[in-house]
Amino acid sequence: MIESIVQFMRRDVTRGVAGTILLKVGSGALAFALFSLAARTMSPDGFGIFATWLSIAQMASVVGLVGQESLLVRFLNEYRVADQPGLTKGVLLSSSKISAVAMLIAIGAIAIVASLRGDGWLLIVAVSLYTAVNAGLMLGSQIARSLVSILMGEGNREFFWRVSVVLFLIAVLAGHRRLDPAELIAVMTIAMSIGLGAQIIAITRALPDFRGTAARSETPRWRSSALHFWVASILEAANQYFDVILVYWMLDPATAGIYFAASRLANIFAMLSAALYSFGARRLPSLYFSKNHEEFERTLQLMAEVTALCVTSGLLLIWIGGPYLLNLFGPHFAAQHWVLIVLGIGTAFQAAGGPAAAILQLTGYEREYVPVVAANVALRLVGFLILIPWLGVLGAAISATVSLALATIALNILCRRRTGVDPSILALLRFSASKRGTYAVRSVDSAE
């Protein structure tokens, strides 16, 4: 058994997945430290306002990217495997221009809404700049992950900048100061800008012949895919951030802050899903487009093994250590342990479902993925409207968990029927059988 574990750890795929998960765990730990320290340096209402505007900015970043970040994941890998530098340059330039224009519109909308609400100019400027820089990091991380490395992509997006912000918050807490939401958002924006600059430099170095290469385009394909990716990205962002906005609107800022804290802790499983997506988005497309089906399936098996282990450990952590983790945000947060447990069950179920969404999108079935995510958002919204007046913040958690579980089941069924791939941890039962099944993926349609 020990020998098999050693062989398991020596596998390149194992080290790749483990490294990505460690990066996500580190960034998750820093995010937890950042938000818990922020809660202690602000009033309950102030932290709720910070959480709400942060959620709005995150959603605006996704809207402003108009699906270009997901489009790049698909086409950069396809063009690099096929050795088509002209198309690589073309899709990079096209995505950058479209994102820049759309992001200006999104930022303008935020500024107008904030002004109509009567928010201060410092908060408006801070949120607007944060939205722009965050969108740049989201787009840059996809490019850097495909062209440079996962560390350059995800490290600068989620890890390195948080170190400086956490140190800043520790200094504020030690000095017994109170922070305003706009101040913290401004500090986060400055730190993220450094990471964005590092990404730009690394991407430029990874494309030494970029200027000498003539750009080519496949505009119809890019436009068709981008539309579906954009809708899917908006719906995914709504799943992550719209909850906090609704709780703020239906209840109060302090409760929105509590829900935000509980959802960030429950996102330990979403962090696992994101880690597997980051690894899969770099590895699976190249295996798919090079038709290396055996390695494709072997990678999925490894991802399922790691997922099963992490989901079990994470559920135990939330059940036993939840009150202590919530208490780090403040004494009034610890009373919401059941909210954390309910949210944790939902995100654990999603993580156990595996990268079904990524496989559907990367293999050409993004059109069928969108309706499932849309139904998830609609069901969650209806649940909020019904359960929050009855059960308060616990009702919001129940609605989020039920909708997430149903969406996970639907995506897995769809993934199995369309591709023949079972991305969930249930696949381990099939992998342990005497013979592995085969799968089929949709060929790339040049007329998309």
Q: Which residue has the tokens 């600068």?
A: 156
pLDDT at position 191, please? 94
Q: What is the pLDDT of residues 430-447, one digit of tens each?
A: 655 434 444 444 444 433
Radius of gyration of the chain measured on its C-alpha atoms? 21
Q: How far apart are CA 419 and CA 438, in angstroms?
A: 10
CB burial of residue 212 (10 Å; 0-12, 13-18, 19+): exposed
Q: How far apart are CA 245 and CA 51, in angstroms?
A: 9
- Strands (E) in 207-330, as ranges, are none
CB burial of residue 270 (10 Å; 0-12, 13-18, 19+): buried
pLDDT at position 274, please? 61
Q: What is the pLDDT of residues 17-74, one digit of tens each?
A: 566 667 777 777 888 889 999 999 998 888 999 999 998 998 888 888 887 877 777 7
pLDDT at position 198, please? 87
pTM of the model: 0.72
Question: Residue 118, Cβ neighbours under 10 Å: how many?
Answer: 6
| Coil vs helix vs strand at 401 | helix
Q: What is the pLDDT of residues 310-366, one digit of tens each?
A: 788 778 888 888 888 888 887 778 788 888 899 889 888 888 887 787 777 666 676
pLDDT at 242 over 90: no
Q: Which residue has the tokens 């730009």?
A: 200
pLDDT at position 8, please? 41
